[in-house]
Amino acid sequence: MMESSGGAHLNMAAVTSPVGVARLLQAAFGCTTFSLVAHRGGFSAAYGTFCMSVWCSCFAVTIFIITCEFTRLHSCLTISWGNFTAAFAMLATLTSITAAVIYPLYVPFACHADGCEVRDFRISASVFAGLLFFAYATEVLLTRAKPGQVTSYMATVSGLLKIVQAFVACIIFGALLNGSQYEKYAATQWCVAVYSFCFIVTVAVVALSVTGRTAMLKCPFERFVVVYTFVAVLMYISAAVIWPVFCFDRKYGSPHRPYQCSRTSCPWDSQVVVTVFTYVNLVLYIVDLAYSQRIRFVLHP
């Protein structure tokens, strides 16, 4: 004779709550998007491959999260589940909006000789890609920590900003590798060191939070986060001053786009991208510093 375990094995709230519904929509929109592209929409080059990898990986992780929540298997995992889901939702929001913008820009929508069916599939894929972004953004809004609420670090504004900072740093690295000529001066190499150091530590903070290993630090996690963010602000201020001077001052670079540059590849363009996103990340770190002093931490939710 079997005895009751004292509770339901399945968590119905995982699919009926507002967050659960948002995740179901994410899975539906993600599957629809990459299915439309794979069936007739088509993709090419690195841009198309990036978009497909985003949609497929987000779909796979979302299904994993729904399954773990529904079956309560997440309680068996040796990670901080609240931090993991909050971090993934923010990352998926950023990558999905990027793919939703890139795919329509780099995929032609003109009708072919055999009809407009391919164009229609691409338009449909673009629409569902936009809906996918809104689904992930909705989860971020629903799970974000409210003022005064004790919650997982990654669900706070400071935690979410860590994901955005790392994402922006990846854009900076992409521009640096695209012929930015950062190796010309020691000053611009310092800027690269700033971007690299802040990216590595930011990723480490996220990894420690998600894995629940914040106790490995020799000092309180909240103090470490505040001190590091303050250091990152100072370092990014130096990069925000140095990089434009050594790229756009007439003594070292060019204040205007060289006429001999092609439309598709120009170091000056990469330098502009690095400059813009340096200031973006500087603002993000300043906002992060302001919020990180006001939040309350739960290290093992």
Q: What is the mean pLDDT of residues 219-237?
A: 92
Q: What is the mean pLDDT of residues 221-230?
A: 90
Residue 147: predicted pLDDT: 63
| Torsion from C-alpha of 68, 72, 76, 80, nearest 10 degrees | 70
Residue 125: predicted pLDDT: 93
Q: What is the mean pLDDT of residues 172-179?
A: 89
Q: Residue 30: which H helix or E strand, with range?
A: helix 18-36
Alpha-carbon gap, residue 117 to 261, rounded angstroms: 38
Boundary (domain end) residue, out of 143, 172, 204: 143
Boundary (domain end) residue, out of 98, 124, 143: 143
**Based on the domain organization, do 112 and 209 belong to the same domain?**
no
**Based on the domain organization, do 138 and 174 belong to the same domain?**
no
Residue 1: predicted pLDDT: 46
Residue 112: predicted pLDDT: 67
Residue 3: predicted pLDDT: 47
Per the domain annotation, does 68 fall within a domain?
A: yes
| Per-residue tokens: 102 | 């890139």
Residues 6+ apart with CB under 8 A from 7: none
**Based on the domain organization, do 136 and 186 belong to the same domain?**
no
CB atoms < 10 A from the CB of 171, how many? Answer: 16
- Going by C-alpha positions, the residue among 180, 33, 177, 15 that lies closest to residue 95 is 33
**Based on the domain organization, do 128 and 155 belong to the same domain?**
no
Boundary (domain end) residue, out of 95, 121, 143: 143
> What's the pLDDT band for 299 if we cut at 50, 70, 90?
very low
Residue 301: predicted pLDDT: 46
Residue 5: predicted pLDDT: 47
Per the domain annotation, does 248 fall within a domain?
A: yes
Per-residue pLDDT for 205 more than 80? yes
| Per-residue tokens: 198 | 């802040």
Which has the higher per-residue pLDDT, 40 or 201?
Answer: 201
Alpha-carbon gap, residue 39 to 177, rounded angstroms: 33
**Based on the domain organization, do 137 and 32 belong to the same domain?**
yes
**Based on the domain organization, do 164 and 120 belong to the same domain?**
no
Residue 44: predicted pLDDT: 78
Residue-number span of the structural domain to which 251 is assigned: 147-256+264-301
The total of structural domains in the chain comes to 2
**Based on the domain organization, do 300 and 154 belong to the same domain?**
yes
Q: What is the mean pLDDT of residues 245-251?
A: 87
**Based on the domain organization, do 179 and 95 belong to the same domain?**
no
pTM for the model: 0.89
Alpha-carbon gap, residue 89 to 97, rounded angstroms: 12
Per the domain annotation, does 5 fall within a domain?
A: no
Give me the percent of the chain exceeding a pLDDT of 90.
57
Q: What is the mean pLDDT of residues 241-251?
A: 89
Q: What is the mean pLDDT of residues 88-116?
A: 86
Residue 115: predicted pLDDT: 61
**Based on the domain organization, do 180 and 295 belong to the same domain?**
yes
> What's the pLDDT band for 149 if we cut at 50, 70, 90?
low
How far, rounded to the nearest angstrom, does the alpha carbon of residue 252 sit from its chain's CA centroid? 34
Per the domain annotation, does 283 fall within a domain?
A: yes
- DSSP line for the chain: -----SS-SS-THHHHSHHHHHHHHHHHHHHHHHHHIIIII---HHHHHHHHHHHHHHHHHHHHHHHHHHHTGGGGSSS-HHHHHHHHHHHHHHHHHHHHHHHHHHS----BTTBSHHHHHHHHHHHHHHHHHHHHHHHHHHHSPPTT--EEGGGSHHHHHHHHHHHHHHHHHHHHHTT--GGG-HHHHHHHHHHHHHHHHHHHHHHHHHHT-GGGSSS-HHHHHHHHHHHHHHHHHHHHHHHHHHHHSTTTS-SS--TT--SS--HHHHHHHHHHHHHHHHHHHHHHHHHHTT--EES--
**Based on the domain organization, do 238 and 200 belong to the same domain?**
yes
Report in angstroms the alpha-carbon separations of 53 from 35, 126, 143, 248, 257.
Answer: 12, 15, 25, 36, 34
**Based on the domain organization, do 121 and 92 belong to the same domain?**
yes
> What's the pLDDT band for 117 if we cut at 50, 70, 90?
confident
**Based on the domain organization, do 218 and 109 belong to the same domain?**
no
Residue 150: predicted pLDDT: 62
